[in-house]
Structure 1
Amino acid sequence: MIPARSQIRAGLDVDIVQKHHQRSGDLTRGVVAQLLTSSAAHPHGIKVRLTTGEVGRVQALVIPDAGG
């Protein structure tokens, strides 16, 4: 399930799909720097900019491994 805007904030690790990877579904992992979508939800995911400058739509939140 694609996360809602309320679940995403700067500093979180996420998997995004960049525009040029939408057909293949290739995901890019990174840290959210800025939220670019103002609506509460979007059918293709909330658009964000990562700290690396890459822009894409959030497909999943990355849950840290608690196993250590």
Structure 2
Amino acid sequence: MDGKKRSDIKPGIKVKIVLKKDQRTGKLTEGIVKDILTNSPNHPHGIKVRLTTGDVGRVQEIIAQS
């Protein structure tokens, strides 16, 4: 599942995000969602989230629902 719909993303789920510095390479960072930062119901580049590690990026893939 991709991370373009805000309703699919909840704090505590495991996701892969692309960090701002990795947008050119497409390198993904895996982690657990802490906060959802995008207010709109959907976003073409992925919903922006903050992981429990403090990393901020756009969700590219949802790995597991909690």
Q: Could you state the TM-score of these two structures normalised by the residue count of structure 2?
A: 0.91
Could you say which structure has the larger radius of gyration? Answer: 1
Give the CA RMSD over aligned residues. Answer: 1.3
Q: How does 1:42-53 map to 2 (within 5 A)?
A: 42-53=43-54
Partner Cα separation in structure 2 for residue 30 and residue 40 of structure 1: 22
Q: How does 1:1-68 map to 2 (within 5 A)?
A: 2-3=2-3, 4-63=5-64
Residues 11-38 of structure 1: CA distance to partner in whole angstroms, max 9, x if unpaired?
0000000000001000000000000000
More strand by share: 2
**Regions of 4+ moved over 4 Å:** none
The residue matched to 1:2 in structure 2 has which SS? coil
Aligned length: 64
Unpaired stretches in structure 2, ≥5 consecutive residues? none
Q: Could you state the TM-score of these two structures normalised by the residue count of structure 1?
A: 0.88
Name the amino acid aligned to 2:22.
Answer: H
Identity %: 56
